[in-house]
């Protein structure tokens, strides 16, 4: 079994523009079963996010956008 832990500060979620339905996701089940395509997409997005975070000239807006995309992919499955 493979998976992810998503750990975040509350203000991160506040800063990301999620609608009310998306926010309700955080009060539901703590586990999701992802299909292979979604899992691979999320892995690649996390790799890009890590690369951006580790660059000296990182652009935080890109990091936030990637994180938001990952969350939306998970939430809306």
What pLDDT, in 10s, does the model give residues 10-32? 665 655 655 656 555 555 666 77
Residue 16 in any domain: the answer is no
**pLDDT for res 66:** 94
Residue 63 in any domain: the answer is yes
Q: Which domain holds residue 76?
A: 34-77
**pLDDT for res 67:** 86
**pLDDT for res 37:** 94
**pLDDT for res 38:** 92
Residue 38 in any domain: the answer is yes
Residue 22 in any domain: the answer is no
Question: What is this structure's pTM?
Answer: 0.69
d(CA 74, CA 23): 12
Residue 69 in any domain: the answer is yes
**pLDDT for res 64:** 86
């Amino acid at each position: 079994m493979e998976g992810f832990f998503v750990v975040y500060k509350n203000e991160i979620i506040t800063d990301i523009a999620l609608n009310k339905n998306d926010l309700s996701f955080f009060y539901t089940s703590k586990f999701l079963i992802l299909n292979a395509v979604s899992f691979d997409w999320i892995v690649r997005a996390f790799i890009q996010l890590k690369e951006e975070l580790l660059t000296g000239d990182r652009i935080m807006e890109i990091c936030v956008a990637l994180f938001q995309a990952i969350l939306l992919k998970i939430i809306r499955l």
